[in-house]
Amino acid sequence: MGSISVRAVSKRFETGDVDVTALEAVDLQVRDQEFVTLVGASGCGKSTLLNLVAGFETPSSGEVLVDGAPVRGPGPDRGVVFQQTALFPWLTVEENIAFGLSLRANRGKGEVKPIVERLLERTGLAAFRTRRPAELSGGMRQRAAIASVLAIDPSTLLMDEPFGALDALTRSIMQDFLLELWEARRKTVVLVTHDIDEAIYLADRTIIMTAHPGRICEAIEVDLPRPRRYEMRSSAAFIRLRDHVTQIVRAEALKGTAPLGAPASPALVPSMTQSAQN
């Protein structure tokens, strides 16, 4: 279970002198166990949309439903992974993975251990179980963060540029790792990325958002076979999809940019200055 329904959602931030409309009339349905990626220009509202589904923000109008019930706040049914991982620096890898799990009711120590063991194996971190986050590479930290979210077995994974801080090679390894996890134990995934290759490689459907305010611009069905393989990225079908998505994203991003020498559109100034803080 993990269907998401975003209905006529708008989100306005009141920030003193200027109000920012981050999202306007967004409608989005995500099926149970569907893998959806979200792309769009910086500041178009991708994180805001994810935060609304996660329950960290509330819509200004419209509603967000998960499995048919309105989202009232964060919950263990939705695991969230950010670009910068939220691990406890003073805990070891295995303690970090076990932490959320042992907080949940009805989980005795005997129950926690096998789950943690399985995740340490799955994420290739078994040999690093006693290390602390500062002693890990970026990719290992991100794997530990994903493992600690998977430990509570959420039906939905919400991922905001989860591999954005990694080098290209580690990133592509992490993409395959995520796909492998998802193939083995399907969950509903909404993953935000700036990397169009990544968006297509992972997704059943890639959603493109308009620049400002954020609306759903287009949803592209990614009809590439599964399981996905790295080599598919050089296939004609992949390249066609990538070019198509790139063209739409670029056109959307350029709508928000003034030609060189021309004054920037006043509507754009607050959004650009504020999105730089994200």
What is the per-residue binding string for Mg ion in 3-42, x denoting contact by CB under 5 A?
A: ----------------------------------------
Binding ligand ATP (rule: CB under 6 A), the pick from 46, 78, 143, 215 is 46
- By CB under 6 A, name the one of 9, 34, 45, 119 that touches ligand ATP: 45
The verdict on 59 binding ligand ATP (CB under 6 A) reads no
With contacts defined by CB under 6 A, how many residues of the chain interact with ligand ATP?
16
**Angstrom distance (rounded) from CA 111 to CA 97:** 13
**Any contact of residue 274 with ligand ATP (CB under 6 A)?**
yes
By CB under 5 A, which span of 17-25, 46-54, 234-242, 248-256 interacts with Mg ion? 46-54
Segment contacting ligand ATP (CB under 6 A): 38-46, 89-97, 132-140, 223-231?
A: 38-46
Q: Which of ligand ATP, Mg ion, none interacts with 45 (beta carbon under 5 to 8 A by kind)?
A: ligand ATP
> CB-based contacts of 227: which residues, under 8 Å, 6+ apart?
179, 183
N- to C-terminal Cα separation, the chain: 31
Among 4, 36, 37, 48, binds ligand ATP (CB under 6 A): 48
Using CB atoms within 10 Å of the CB of residue 145, give its burial: 0 to 12 exposed, 13 to 18 middle, 19+ buried.
Answer: buried
State CA 63 to chain mean position distance: 20
| Out of 5, 37, 47, 193, the residue judged to bind ligand ATP by CB under 6 A | 47
Long-range contacts, stretch 25-29, CB < 8 angstroms, 24+ apart: 25/62, 25/215, 26/62, 26/214, 26/215, 26/216, 27/216, 28/4, 28/207, 28/216, 29/3, 29/4, 29/5
Name the phi and psi angles at 226, rounded to 5.
Answer: -120, 155
Q: Is 47 in the site for Mg ion (CB under 5 A)?
A: yes
Q: Among candidates 226, 233, 219, 162, which has minimal Cα distance to 194?
A: 162
Please report, as ranges, the residues that interact with Mg ion according to CB under 5 A: 47
Please report, as ranges, the residues that interact with ligand ATP according to CB under 6 A: 13, 15, 20, 22, 40, 42-48, 271, 274-275, 278
